[in-house]
Structure 1
């Protein structure tokens, strides 16, 4: 989709641009590998306590190497903040697990109660993440409320089940709209204009790719099995190694392609239809095939190096996403006011991590 640009009447009121260019990511796999391996070792030695420091070091590395107009991002959270929130979240999770095992009825009540707690956890997690992000000495903020979060993250997904998930693209659109339109940069809210039909188109394209991928996957899996059977008749015992490996590789390729198609279409739509009025506009041109190849090779590299290629894969992904993202900054950015409150709790964010809730933004 073409990026949204102001009309002629609006452009007369738009302040002059002071920067227009791609996001720059200068991180290097070798540098991050050193940080990553130390994080792993110290987290193991300290029985997970150091993981709070590991998270902050990782965030600060990627934020610090991501630049727009020569200005990098800052991650402001401290390890102690993360550690306190993580400890509380783990305690809450352990209590839930213990009660569920001892008294399933109580566990069920907790599960129902968790549905009502979920919107608060998501809101607080997003609020913490935004508040701890800064660019040009101005912090981001999140202003979502419980009622809207409950509708978008609880009621609508449940309703989607009763429509055989035909409502799912609309639900995903509502979730993305909610998460992004409640973001502000300083005193400027993010204006977002997402279109439901784009989500249905993305879903149909992804479904078509999935069906085509399944057909190809089935064909090659069957052909591989026949080939190995023929080899086995010639006393080659390869089926127990080659067939599972080939099928697993094809399956990974299939999943990465399907995920890349949907993510690229939706990411482009969100970026191209969002702006901080008189402050910044965005363009994204992420191509599904490029993203699929990157994800697939990343997964293979991680598998065949027993995880040691993870830093390389993470840096590659960050570089690709930065290279397809363009930002135009207007002079209004020079007069922004930092209005983010200096709250300290990270409990909700860590609770979201413990309970496996993905609240990351596109």
Structure 2
């Protein structure tokens, strides 16, 4: 193993190129604050321009093998995507607010049926807008493949239709009618079998959600093209299940720790507070319950914040340690889960203390930690890689990608 003057590690004909983020929180703050102010002034109309400026900033400051990524797209496509998404949202809100429950339900089910199309469009748009050293990316999955990978969405809908029907059949008493503008909604009365069936439905739903995540991620990599080279994917479904199970165990651990900390800090103060507010009348008791609700909410946030960071780090490690480009390139990451959890907690606290103004610094630091942990291993060097790659030539999907939290890096 040897290191060149440029810092590239060479071993057995394979070059290791660390991926680098050259930006900073202070630089991104200037981009972010302009986006926020212009979005407020224009009542949100500036959103597609803000998305483009943000993407261009992070892409241009992400160095892969010494060359920056590029985000190349026509602005009018992003504007069209934003307007289409906004029109769908407004139509749903108008139908809901005016009591048109049928129309609202049809829009909701229509959106669920369109989910695979939105995801596929998002991936096609994002990858076609990505360029590295003049080489474009592409997502070549057919719509049949996209909808086949989306079967968990429809399985969840069918599952809960069956569960609800079975709950009504198992209910020992007539279903409870819930009054409303339309026909009453039938809710089964609670019993042991009904509760057990509901828990089974939630467990199967979680497995479907995990499967959907696995299907989407694997399809994205396997049907992605860098030039004329296909993506390579190694993880299996059970790898994702193990990450979720580990996340559930970590969640239980965090809940126990947070509960113990709150118990030690509160001690007998809760009873004393309740007694003191009891003599202050109805207003005092209302204030006490509000205070208790805020405490429960803070405890929930404290419990879920590290858990979400834990899962994100584990999935990032699983994906980036097991993907590559054909037989000529692969990725590895040395992201430490504990470090990422600590950074996420610190960023959350500073964001709250600064009333949200630390948010761009938080985003930049988390992005930097993930990106800087990745190394690209190239067989034969970058010149040979680029020599093997050939240039490849809807924005509606970009708006959907932002709404669903999709991101190319992680």
- Tell me the TM-score normalised to structure 1 length: 0.84
Q: Output the CA distance in 2 between the equivalents of 1:278 and 1:254.
A: 42
| Matched position secondary structure for 1:167 | helix
Q: Are 2:119 and 2:401, in contact at CA under 8 Å, matched by a contact in 1?
A: yes
CA contact (8 A) 2:321 2:331 kept: yes
Q: Which one of 281, 298, 316 corresponds to residue 347 of structure 2?
A: 298
C-alpha separation between the residues in 1 aligned to 2:248 and 2:47? Answer: 38
Distance 2:360 2:401 in 1: 24
Partner residue of 1:10? none
What residue number does 1:175 align with? 216
Q: Is the 8 A contact 2:222 2:232 kept in 1?
A: yes
Are 2:208 and 1:208 aligned?
no
Structure 2 residue matching 1:175: 3-state secondary structure? helix
| Secondary structure, aligned partner of 1:313 | helix
Alignment of 1:123-162 (within 5 A): 123-153=120-150, 154-158=153-157, 162=201
Q: Secondary structure at the match of 1:72?
A: strand
State the shift of 1:346 in Å. Answer: 0.8
Per the alignment, residue 62 of structure 2 pairs with: 66
Provide the rounded CA distance (Å) in 1 between the counterparts of 2:101 and 2:157. 22
Residue 47 (str. 1) matches residue 43 (str. 2) = yes
Corresponding residue for residue 333 of structure 1: 385
Change (3 A) 1:165 1:268: same
Further displaced range: 164-173 or 308-317:
164-173
Aligned partners of 2:104 and 2:142: how far apart in 1?
27
Q: Cα offset for 1:150?
A: 2.4
Secondary structure of the 1:165 match is helix
CA deviations on 1:210-229 (whole Å, 9 max, x unpaired) are 11111222222233332534
TM-score with structure 2 length normalisation? Answer: 0.75
User: What is the CA distance between 1:130 and its match in structure 2?
Assistant: 0.6
Specify every segment of 5 or more residues in structure 2 that has no aligned partner in the other structure, as ranges.
Answer: 1-11, 161-200, 277-283
Alignment match, 2:205: 165
86-95 vs 131-140, which deviates more? 86-95
Query: Which residue number corresponds to residue 109 of structure 1?
Result: 106
Q: 1:28 to 1:288 in 2, by over 3 A?
A: same
**RMSD between superposed Cα atoms in Å:** 3.0
Deviation (angstroms), 1:139: 1.1
C-alpha displacement at 1:293, in angstroms? 0.7
Q: Would the alpha carbon gap of residues 97 and 240 (structure 1) be closer, same or farther in structure 2, given more than 3 Å must change?
A: closer
1:184–1:190 CA contact under 8 A, matched in 2: yes
- List gaps (5 residues or longer) in structure 1: 1-14
In 2: Cα distance, 1:159 partner to 1:359 partner: 26
1:157 deviates by: 4.5
Distance of 1:159 and 1:173 partners within structure 2: 20
Larger Rg: 2
User: In 1, are the aligned partners of 2:67 and 2:133 still within 8 Å (CA)?
Assistant: yes
Report if aligned partners of 1:160, 1:167 keep a CA contact under 8 Å in 2.
no
* Aligned partners of 2:119 and 2:400 also within 8 Å: no
